Structure 1
């Protein structure tokens, strides 16, 4: 009972925190301008964005299947897509953004009584994506800084790069604290020790490494493509430099969603957009509008997961 109460408190806290962050963002942007930006999105951009959301799931499910096969837990592709849709939907509606993946690992391991390896398969598949995303963010941020696309002064009144530094530092500190807390738990230390061997097989071996990297690059590209399609529809992209700027900024939005403090990144993503766009000399409302539209599209593209809420756990090949 105490465990259920504690879990309920954490869930409620993240929902409240999400609402508070979104409210804070709305206080610092022009809501009327924000609404105007959002309604500029044409139906064609919405359709293409939803199609890209489907591609994301199919690519990610293939990456998971490839990883699981290397760990000796083969899974047919169709059930892998089904389970990934279910996990994606759960991640969209439950706080933290990882509970759907936890459930995916449990369901995969239920048939073979090997939940540890199934958990490793999910963890490595997600880690592959996060490592590649970090690489893409590093390149984008370096380009923004070295080309002067991020300026020291801007229309929003930020006087320096301090807000961006605080954003990135916050992400780094959050990750570091999670790592330290994990190291202090004996059971979790044992888990990471066992994970190293599976990482060597499913990520760092040949040809697993290039396949993981290429697949994850395609997944990250599909995320950014959703942003770019929306930006085209809203009239933000007028030349190649503007495409590069928006892509680099949006990669930072994707990184901000890694922080597991809200529901599916809502609030944190919009707050990051409200900071980053003015730093690039662009209206904050543009960034927030893109962020809101992206979140809505990804949510609607995950709705097929509802069809599999009561499906049986996945069976091995």
Structure 2
């Protein structure tokens, strides 16, 4: 499946992936063993490509196994009713809302990508960025790893601009910016909002998951030799003429994702006010950043069910809400499927 996404082997040196881009960086390093990203520190002997491919494949299976284990635990504990209900509660109005919100958030995220890419010296028109971003969202939603669409847009853009490393770094930094805003919003909501006590417990649970993820990565050697590229972060995200636009676009995109999640929760029968549901939404979005899922499924459903139970709303309803959000997210990405067709025709021609 992955061989159709990346057609040839690419060796990218010193990509400097860090922070929220680690998941994407891992996948670029291990997807089919065909794209090799990251290397040893300067002056150190590089790791053999076969070893990198082996550890990358192992880590890919570990991530998939963790995601399947979470989904399996939910089925064992709550049954399949929550998953089935997540499909049944969605109506036509929800689908239309998903498509409209998806268009808005995709344009905002593509615009953010343009800002970061241009700061790294890459050309990226907004129209092309929107098409590539839609395509990436759809592939992320339907392929197991959850980030293969981002791998595709990163590598393809880098090839077109003659610098695969810069293309990958632009996508990683763009994803980092979005995750950073989610983290900031999560801290504010959980520490200031009415659900402080519940939020602190759930936040601690998420921190434990993150630490366990980092320990697992280190134990099997994936990404342990990658370094931060301070210049790229400073120039691509933190420059005076870059960070205000990146932060604003990220905040607006986050507002769209939060709105879609609230729609899913209302469809699942939640009658609480948005202020009461907001902490659950933010923590669920934080959990989605964990790269231990099956096509995006797993941590989001587990954390949402857990938070609904902690709030006295019922874990089954939380699972239904998370499933509904996942399906609405898939609906929002469907225009990306249409954008795969012209690319295939070009190859045939």
1:110 paired with 2:159, answer yes
TM-score by length of 2: 0.74
Q: Which moved more, 1:173-182 or 1:221-230?
A: 173-182
What are the superposed Cα offsets for residues 21-63 of structure 1, whole Å, 9 maximum, x if unpaired?
2121022226446645653333212321232122221111111
Q: Determine the structure 2 residue equivalent to 1:150.
A: 198
Matched, 1:286 2:317: yes
1:306 aligns with 2:340: no
Given the alignment, which residue of 205, 209, 224 partners 1:170? 209
Point out which structure has higher relative CO (alpha carbons under 8 A, 6+ apart): 1
TM-aligned CA deviation for residue 255 of structure 1 = 0.9
- Work out the CA distance in 2 between the residues paired with 1:102 and 1:267: 21
Of 112-121 and 219-228, deviating more is: 112-121
Question: Residue 67 in 1 paired to residue 116 in 2?
Answer: yes
Q: 5+ unaligned residues in a row in structure 2: which ranges?
A: 1-32, 34-49, 345-349
* Counterpart contact for 1:87–1:104, Cα < 8 Å: yes
1:269, 1:291 within 8 Å by CA — same for their partners in 2? Answer: yes
CA-based RMSD: 3.0
Q: What's 1:158 paired with?
A: none
In the TM superposition, residue 271 of structure 1 has moved relative to its aligned partner by: 1.1
CA contact (8 A) 2:98 2:331 kept: no
The answer (yes or no) to whether the contact 2:101–2:260 under 8 Å persists in 1 is yes
The correspondence for 2:260, drawn from 226, 238, 244, is 226
Q: Is it true that 1:58 corresponds to 2:100 in the alignment?
A: no
Cα 1:26–1:164 shift into 2, 3 Å: farther
Aligned partners of 1:19, 1:277: CA distance in 2, in Å? 21
With 17-26 and 262-271 compared, the bigger mean Cα shift is at 17-26
Give the distance between the partners of 1:62 and 1:222, measured in 2 at CA. Answer: 15
TM alignment of 1:232-243, pairs within 5 A: 232-238=266-272, 242-243=273-274
Aligned residue number for residue 247 of structure 1: 278
Unmatched 5+ stretches in structure 1: 152-160, 313-317
CA contact 2:190–2:196 (8 Å) conserved in 1? no
| SS in structure 1 at match of 2:161 | coil
Matched, 1:267 2:298: yes
Aligned in 2, Cα 1:45/1:307: closer, same or farther, shift over 3 Å?
A: closer
Residue number in structure 2 paired with 1:21: 70
